[in-house]
Each structure stands twice: as structure tokens, then as C-alpha cells.
Amino acid sequence: MKAMRVWRSIPAKPVVGLVVLGAGGWLALKSIGLMMGLFWWVAGMILPGLVIAGVGTAFVMWIARKLQGR
């Protein structure tokens, strides 16, 4: 309730609104940049991961074939 009393006593509510909007817009831009960075990071993690998984799978299959041949 005290916060509401403080809010009512602020004469420049539009300024607060603009600051909040500005901060929101800035955060949105930051998050878009973050999403792009995250996308490239994930791509950088997944692509080598797929290659490693493919090689690993081939290796496991080769070992399984060797064991079956025994």
C-alpha cells in the first residue's frame, strides 16, 4: 500500500512510463541479440555434436560387428 501512495505522489508519471517503455524496448533489442547469439552458439554446439555422434555411432556399430564376428 505504501508503494501505491508513493506512486500517487509522483507528478511525472508519463516520464516513468517512457522510462519503462524505453527499458522494455532496450531489453527487447538485447534479447533479440541474445537470441541470435544463442542460435549461433547452439549451431556451433550441435553441428560438431552431430559429426561426433555420427562418428561415435559408426564406431559403436563397427565394434558390435567385430564382437558378433568373434
- pLDDT mean for each 10 residues of the chain (70 residues): 66 75 82 84 84 91 87
Q: What integer pLDDT is reported at residue 61 of this predicted model?
A: 92
Q: pTM of the full predicted structure?
A: 0.36
Q: What integer pLDDT is reported at residue 28 of this predicted model?
A: 81
CA distance 43 to 38: 8
Alpha helices in 1-70 (DSSP H): 2-9, 13-69
Cα 16 → chain centroid: 29
Diameter of the chain measured on Cα atoms: 86
Please give the grid coordinates belonging to residue 38: 544463442
> How many CA atoms does the CB half-sphere of 69 hold within 13 Å?
6
